Structure formats: C-alpha cells, structure tokens
Structure 1
C-alpha cells in the first residue's frame, strides 16, 4: 500500500474511532493528521488535507485545544496559525482520561450522590436507592482507576493490558 492510501485509510479509521469515543469524526481526523505530521500544521493545510472549511477547522482545533490534545505554535517568519499535538500515546491517553473524567464521570457521581438521599420507604424508593447506590459504587471505583491512571508514574496500566492480552 502506498503512503497516500495508507494515510487516507488511517485518517478515516481514526475519525470513525473518535466518533465511537464521543468526539466528532472531524475532530478525530484533525487530531490524527496532527499526530502523523512531522511539522506543525497550518489551518490551510488541514483544510486541504481533510477537504473541510476554515470554520470547521477552527472549531475542531479549538475543541482539541480545549481537550488539551493540541496546541498553537509559533513558526518564525509565518503569519499563519500552526498546530501540533503530543505524539506520546500514554500522554494522550492520560489527557483523554482526565477530560472524560471531568466531563462525564464527575457530573454523574455528583448526581448519584444527590439522588441517593431520596426519602420514602416504598418498594420503588428502595429499588431506586439500591440501583443508584450500585451505580455510585461502580462509578466511584471507575473514578479511582482513572485517577490512578492519570497520576501514574510509569506505564503500569499498559503493562497490565499487555499481560491481559497474552
């Protein structure tokens, strides 16, 4: 397979994977392009490579920056904006875990804590309390695992995954 075809397949596959993770296909494709680029990439290069509008590039690059997955860089002698991403997969995974924890897990933990104090003694209330307590316990355990992963000092998590796949 030639580089152009391989690159196109990679960008499409990463876009599909990203949409499965809850980010837009285009945001994932912009990130994929930044990951394989050897130099910082300009808005115009992203537009051309992915055949998307300037507004679409700006919106998705801004989202990547908000997620901590991209940064704007200054290129001497250029007036255009350029962007790059960290290419260390462990760093990227940690950053995604931080954002998912903040955006998804922490809000549901808060809600589950609040609704668990429901008053009443009917069968429905007891079932509600049991389900929300179980969900809260599961979410809390997930939160602890994510926190440990985020604060890792080495790649212990990847070693465990490697052992599980043998």
Structure 2
C-alpha cells in the first residue's frame, strides 16, 4: 500500500468510526485529514482533498472548533484561513472526553437528579422510579467523576495503569 492509499484508508475509516461516536462522517474525516497533515490546511485544501462542499466544510470546521479540537492558524502573507488539529493523541482524548461530558453526560445527570428527586407519594411505581433513577444517577456521577480525574491527569503512572487495564 502506498502513501495515498494508506491516507485515504485512514481518513475513510476515521470517518466511519466517527458516526459510531456520534459525529458525522465529514467532521471526522476533516479532523483525520488535519491530524495527519504536516502543515495547516485551508478550507479550499480540505474541500479539494475530501471532495466536500464549502458549506459542509465550513459547518464542520466550526463544530470542530467549538469542540476545541481544531484551531485557526495564521499563515504569514496569506489571506486565507488555515486550520490545524491537536496532534498529541492523549491531549486529543482529554479534550474529547471533557467536551462529551459537558455536552452529553452532565445534562443526563441533571435529568436523573430531577427525576430521582420527585415527591414520594408512597406508590410502588414512584418508589421504584426513585430507587432506579437514584442508582443510575449515582453511577453516572461516579463514572463522570472518574473520567474527569483521568483526563485531568497528565500522563503518569495512574493513567498508564488504567489504559493498560482497558487494553
């Protein structure tokens, strides 16, 4: 396999995986392209490489910047905007984990907190709802807290050990 084939396979696979992680294919492909690029790319470079429209590219770049994964880069003497992504894999994982917590897990914890704190009217249904949602709330908060502790650690013995256990 030559460089071009390997690059295309990586970008395509990363795009497909992105849909499993809850982001769209184009967004994941843009991030993958920037991830393996040796220099910042313009919107036109990205559009040409991935064969996607300006609107699609612009919208996905904006979302990637909102996530904190992609940043604009000033290129001396250029009027175009250029983009790059975090190259450190562990830092990238930390950014994504923090953002997923903020966008997805914390809102679920809030709902579970609201639901589990309803007034107990003494019925079995209400008691079961309270019991189960409290248990789920506690578990979700514990997992979110553990994830925050892990992602806030710099690469150290604890993080290395946990990642070894997960392999």
Q: Secondary structure at the match of 2:161?
A: helix
Whole-angstrom distance in 2 between the partners of 1:65 and 1:37: 17
Question: How does 1:112-131 map onto structure 2 within 5 Å?
Answer: 112-119=112-119, 120-131=121-132
Question: Paired residue for 1:161, among 149, 153, 163?
Answer: 163
Whole-angstrom distance in 1 between the partners of 2:37 and 2:115: 47
Report deviation, 1:128: 0.5
Structure-2-length-normalised TM-score: 0.94
Cα displacement string for residues 30-63 of structure 1 (whole angstroms, at most 9, x for unaligned residues): 0000000000001011001100011111100000
Whole-angstrom distance in 2 between the partners of 1:150 and 1:164: 14
Question: How does 1:140-159 map onto structure 2 within 5 Å?
Answer: 140-155=141-156, 156-159=158-161
Whole-angstrom distance in 2 between the partners of 1:33 and 1:159: 30
* 5+ long unaligned stretches in structure 2: none
Partner residue of 1:102? 102
Partner residue of 1:55? 55
Q: Secondary structure at the match of 1:22?
A: coil
Cα displacement string for residues 91-112 of structure 1 (whole angstroms, at most 9, x for unaligned residues): 0000001100000111111111
Structure-1-length-normalised TM-score: 0.95
Question: How does 1:1-150 map onto structure 2 within 5 Å?
Answer: 1-119=1-119, 120-150=121-151
Report deviation, 1:164: 4.5
* 5+ long unaligned stretches in structure 1: none
What is the RMSD computed on CA atoms of the aligned residues?
A: 1.2
Whole-angstrom distance in 1 between the partners of 2:54 and 2:160: 37
Report deviation, 1:65: 0.3
Report deviation, 1:154: 2.2
Q: Secondary structure at the match of 2:153?
A: coil
